[in-house]
Amino acid sequence: MSDPVTATEKSSDNPILWVAKPMVTAARQFAKSLVRPSTVIYPYERLEDPKFRDQVRIESGKPIGVGPIWDNYRGVHALNIATCISCNLCAFSCPDLCIEMVTVPGGDPKHPKKCPQIDYGKCSYCGFCSDACPEGCLTMTTRYELSVTKRSEMVYSPQKMFGIYEQKLPMHPIRVERPANEDQILLEPPLCIGCNACARDCPTQCITMLDIPKPEAKAGEKVPKRIWKEPVVNDSDCVRCGTCINVCPKECLFWGNRK
């Protein structure tokens, strides 16, 4: 670490002719701006236009230009309904509670397909939902124009977000890697009653109910009344949505880490 400096000593910009320096500076900027001011005439030009995106330009009088990394912008969501698995992770991870899972056609009557519906009046564009989405079907796009005349129009239904998906906007290419050793779904076997609720509701169908041997009744003890099956989680397919934990009637599933 070098010696600290005094800012006053470094600056030698003293006035010449009272106001000559600022006036010359302003005039120089005037001459530069006559050619091309830095502003973008918004409704007619946009930052996502090719002329701003093709190259990053920082030159005199023209300091704007995000370039292709503009695509990282976190704007309105796009939702691919076809690949959505109704795992609820987006709704859970939303800090503003603006995501509601609503039924969309396509599921079977017993287990309706549910996709996120986002209220942009509450959304803070933090991107936690698209980070959490295990299938990559909920992404954020570069679309940023949201003005509507009614508050109810701020609520984007899954179909509307699917429409945005079909526009094929640049979609937030930064993908967040999943942590190397995540917690897994673990089972507390004595509590399980083999009710199949977890396997039934698992959005990725990664839980299979395997038969277990029915123990012999010991003297003085009753054999517990249950279905003699136990869930086994296929860890590579599991998206860690926690649905099985939530539906388990006996609270025998929990998060843990065996590694």
Partner 1 sequence: MWINMGPQHPMTHGLWNLRVKIDGEVILDCDPEMGYLHRGIEKISEDRHYNEVVTLMDRTCYVAGFAWEHLYILASEDALHIVPPERAEYIRVMCEEFQRIGSHLMWYAAFVQDLGLMTPFLYGMRDRDIVLDLFQSYSGARMTYEYMRVGGVRNDMPPGFSAHARRALDWLSDRFVEYDRLCLGSEIFRKRCDGLGVLKASDCVATGVTGPMLRSAGMRRDVRRDRPYSVYPQLDFEVAVADGADVTGRYLVRMEEMRQSIRIIRQILDWLDHHPGPVLADRLPRWLGAPYAPVGKEDYVLKRNYPKGVGLSSIEEPHGEAQAYVVNEGSEHPYRVKFRSPVFANISAARHYLIGYRVADIPPIMGSVDVCVGEVDR
Partner 2 sequence: MSSATLYSVSYFLVNYVLTHIGSVLPAPLNAWITNGDLVTGLAVLVFGAILLGASMINTIVLIWWERKLLGRFMDRRGAMHVGYAGLLQNFADGFKLFRKNTFRPREADWLGFFSGPTAYLVTSFVIFGILPISSGWNSGVLPLSLLLALAIFSFAPLFIFVSAWSSNNKYSLMGGMRSAAQMIAYEVPLLLAVVAVVIVSGSFDLTTIVYEQQNYWFWGPLFLALVVFVAGMLAEMERIPFDLPEAEAELVEGWNTEYGGMLFAFFMLADYLRALVGSILVVLLFLGGWTMPTWVPSAATSFPLAGIFWFMVKTYLVFGLFVWIRASLPRVRTDQLLRVGWNRMIPLSLCAVFLAAALVLAKCVWPFGCLPSMGV
Chain residues in the site for partner 2 (CB under 8 A): 19, 22-23, 25-27, 29-30, 32-34, 37-39, 41, 61
Residue 21 or residue 226: which is nearer to partner 2 going by CB?
A: 21
C-beta closer to partner 2: residue 6 or 14: 14
Tell me the residue type at 191. Answer: L
**Which residues from 18-47 bind partner 1, rule CB under 8 A?**
18-22, 24-26, 29, 38
Q: How far is the CB of 140 from partner 1 (least distance, A)?
A: 7
Residue 34 binds which entry of partner 1, partner 2, none, with Cβ cut-offs from 5 to 8 Å by kind? partner 2
Burial class (CB in 10 A: 0-12, 13-18, 19+), 84: buried
Separation between Cα atoms, residue 121 and residue 152, nearest integer Å: 9
Kindly write out the interface string for residues 162-181 of this chain, putting x where it contacts partner 1 by CB under 8 A and - elsewhere: ----------x-xxxxxxxx
Tell me which of partner 1, partner 2, none is bound by residue 144, counting a contact when its beta carbon lies within the kind-specific cut-off of 5 to 8 angstroms: none
- Candidates 108, 145, 216, 251: give the one binding partner 1 (CB under 8 A): 251
Name which of 214, 190, 206 is nearest 243 in CA terms.
206
Q: Site size for partner 1, by CB under 8 A?
A: 73
What count of other Cβ atoms lies within 10 Å of the Cβ of residue 135? 15
Q: At CA 81, angle to CA 78 and CA 82, rounded to 5? A: 130
Could you give the count of Cα atoms lying within 13 Å of 170 in the half-sphere of its Cβ? Answer: 18
